[in-house]
Amino acid sequence: MAGEWRTATVTQLQSEGILLVEDGNHGEYRPRPDEFVDRGVAFIRAADMNGGRVLFESSAKINDCARQRITKGIGAPGDVLLSHKGTVGKVALVPDDAPSFVCSPQTTFWRTRDERLLDRKYLYAFLRSPLFHAQLATRAGETDMAPYVSLTSQRGLLVALPPITEQCAIAHILGTLDDKIDLNRRMNETLEATARALFKSWFVDFDPVRAKAEGRDADLPKHLADLFPAHLVDSELGEIPEGWCVRRIEEVAERVAMGPFGASIKVETFVPDGVPIISGQHLRGFVLEDSTFNFISDEHAKRLANANVQRGDVIFTHAGSIGQAAFIPQTSRYERYVISQRQFYMRCDLSQVSPTFIAFYFTSSEGRHRLLANTSSSGVPSIARPVTYLRTIPLTIPTRPVLDAFEALASPVLLKFLKNVQINVTLAALRDALLPELVSGELRVKDAERLIGRVV
């Protein structure tokens, strides 16, 4: 079957009107610092691509003046974006309802110009395949600068082109898995928003207490409403519910400690299997992303005993992507982890607080503000003296019945959230296993459909 497929360079496909590959403007045409605005045309960098999606909402924006000066890299719905400078190899598919955007000099769009010969979703699959990334890897180190694959180099890359019917079938199979993953992700966004809204209402805004103090209905079942006092009292943090208290982290933690210092963990120490290493990429939400890890040996982990963490611990980032906070759930795959040099952690005194409560607090606007209040701006952004500082942070601690009631309401939501995460890990592993075999022609489409039918 693979013998029926065609392989062609990007340059060949461009000359035939099948494909267009173009990066963002360099030099005098690129936006100036004063042309970035709060609302405008999205300016897509490598950092704005994650998990196959383009993060338009959080991307930088440029004004009309900058946009009118830009002559290349003007994106369109259906484009496949590739990061080619600094961070090489991120791939994302632009949705049909995408807002106006342009590529930065770090990104390239790959655009199908003839859907009869090149399916855009197949192109998206191909750009994620090991076949394609092996080509990128050989070119990313061609300069002494940061990893970089120039537009000229990209146009020399090879694209495998099966017949269009086969392209569409491959795209459908992989797209089915991507769609299920995306559905679970969006469901988790809703679940997380629900739990966060409850946390904010009870522990930040004190809505039930304020309602009772003003003689209003607390909008809660009676057994829950009765747990809240009817008055606010003064404290060092301002008004808090009567009977609640202010405690510093050191008073509600069993342990607060740093990750290893220096080069205790480095690429040369990685092993195929062992104790997983937590880094910033695993702390994007309030729960540890229990997916792809690097590992060190058990013996190495024992030598870094102070940096060993376990289920229930809350992990923070103090350098680089500062302010991240996530807890390790009881359902995590591993009993023990090691945190990297840029992380530190808190082990809760469970008689006073829960990991869920602490993680929600430090990922709320109030908690994140307190965590970042001791940020140093010199060199790499970092939290100065992170362990010492975290220990001193004060927060409002509810009564035990209120905390237990929150846990009872949040736990089913969290369990559903974690179940969706695990399903997505399984689906992503299946997709990543099928992708190279489908794109290389080694696996028949019908065989792949049977495999997917067992899990979707």
- Radius of gyration in angstroms for the set of CA atoms belonging to the chain, rounded to a whole number: 25
Of the pLDDT bands very low, low, confident and very high (cuts 50, 70, 90), residue 262 is low
Q: Is the pLDDT of residue 91 over 50?
A: yes
pLDDT tens readout for residues 118-155: 999 999 999 999 889 999 988 876 655 678 899 999 99
Query: Whole-prediction pTM value?
Result: 0.81
Across 354-374, average pLDDT: 94
Across 348-362, average pLDDT: 96
With b for 16 or more beta-carbon neighbours within 10 A and e for fewer, the 154-167 pattern comes to bbebebbbbeeebb
Token match 């970089």: residue? 148
CA proximity to 66, closest of 24, 95, 94: 24
Across 391-414, average pLDDT: 96
Counting residues of the chain whose pLDDT is more than 90, the rounded percentage is 73
CA distance 423 to 151: 38
* Domain 2-161 CATH class label: alpha beta
CA distance 25 to 103: 8
pLDDT tens readout for residues 162-205: 999 999 999 999 999 999 999 999 999 999 999 999 999 999 99
Phi–psi pair at 255, nearest 5 degrees = -160, 140
Token match 């092996």: residue? 134
Token match 């995306």: residue? 182
CA proximity to 98, closest of 127, 59, 68: 59
Of the pLDDT bands very low, low, confident and very high (cuts 50, 70, 90), residue 258 is very high
Q: Is the pLDDT of residue 375 over 70?
A: yes
Of the pLDDT bands very low, low, confident and very high (cuts 50, 70, 90), residue 454 is low
The helix or strand, by DSSP H or E, that contains position 102, with its residue range, turns out to be: strand 101-103
Helix (H, G, I), strand (E, B) or coil at 75: coil
Token match 């994302």: residue? 92
For the chain, the structural domain boundaries read 2-161
Of the pLDDT bands very low, low, confident and very high (cuts 50, 70, 90), residue 1 is very low
pLDDT at 446: 77
Q: Which residues pair with 9 in a beta bridge?
A: 158
The region, left, alpha or beta by phi > 0 then psi within -120 to 50, assigned to residue 385 is left
Cβ neighbours, 10 Å, residue 198? 16
